[in-house]
Amino acid sequence: MKDIADEIFSNEHRLTTRKRAASLLRDICEQHERVTLLPDGTAQDLGSILLAVDEAEDWMVLDMPVPALDLQALLAMQPLMGVVRYGGVYVGFQTEALQAISWRGSPALRSRFPQHVYFLQRRHYFRVPVGAGDVGTVSLLRLGEPLVEGTCHDLSAGGMRLLAQPRAGEFPLREGELLAGVEFSLKGTDLRVPGRVQHVDEAVRRADGSMMLPVGVEFTQKSPAFESFVARYVQERDRAMLAGR
């Protein structure tokens, strides 16, 4: 979450009304979304859940963060920045921890209602694991080399990660290699877009004994129609996973 935190806490992403901020935080509370807390002065991420929000009384309650820290040390790490992935966007807030309390029989942390709440819209570039049967065989069309085929693992409007089938004797895929095309079908629609190899990891052996090569691919020169189509799938898939479907 550190990279998201570095981006989200800026004036351009700040919600302009306290009412909107309170409504958003209450929704996060009701959905029991996981909150990542980033205490000032430490690189450690702490996991929590927003338990209650009362903007009129200027407080909210967070589940006691894990891994547990010494309370005095935690209270000294002010302010606390929180980042939540909610409904396909990132929400950030900055609060001040006040005291440890018991909330419905469990340890919790009472903190101030955030002065500012931030909202970062990045739907199109979420990377989601693809659904079974949603994406057909992926073909990486190389320049002057035989194509490489593989299976898509996850997808965003900006690229995909796949498990490719290495072939003996061919010039190996390499980071930065330009691809004449990345071909695949998505929900029955055939797609093709130029690409670039972002990374190639060490080959892994699957349960059936076959070797697969994890490859990250960036889509380049995307048409608006291509980007919109893939982004719509990513959003729908993200909502379905959040709903547990």
Residue 153 has pLDDT above 50, yes or no: yes
Which whole number is the average pLDDT over 103-124? 84
Residue-wise pLDDT tens digits, 171-221: 788 889 999 999 999 999 999 999 999 888 888 887 777 888 999 999 998
Residue-wise pLDDT tens digits, 51-102: 999 999 999 999 988 776 677 777 777 888 999 977 667 899 999 988 989 9
- Greater model confidence, 66 or 139: 139
Fold type of domain 2-121:
Pnp Oxidase; Chain A (2.30.110)
Tokens of residue 201, six digits? 């990891």
On the question of a common fold for 2-121 and 128-242, the answer reads: no
- Alpha-carbon distance of 124 to 88, in angstroms, equals 9
Which whole number is the average pLDDT over 17-35? 88
Residue-wise pLDDT tens digits, 97-109: 889 899 999 999 9
- Alpha-carbon distance of 174 to 196, in angstroms, equals 10
Task: Domain ranges for the chain, please list them.
Answer: 2-121, 128-242
- Alpha-carbon distance of 231 to 94, in angstroms, equals 30
- pTM to 2 decimals? 0.51
Residue 31 has pLDDT above 90, yes or no: no
- Alpha-carbon distance of 233 to 128, in angstroms, equals 10
pLDDT at 124 (0 to 100): 47
pLDDT at 68 (0 to 100): 63
- Greater model confidence, 204 or 233: 233
CA angle 21, 46, 27 (to 5 degrees): 25
CATH number for the region 128-242 comes to 2.40.10.220
pLDDT at 127 (0 to 100): 76
Tokens of residue 83, six digits? 């980042």
Which whole number is the average pLDDT over 5-11? 83
Which whole number is the average pLDDT over 27-55? 85
Residue 123 has pLDDT above 50, yes or no: no
Tokens of residue 112, six digits? 């101030």
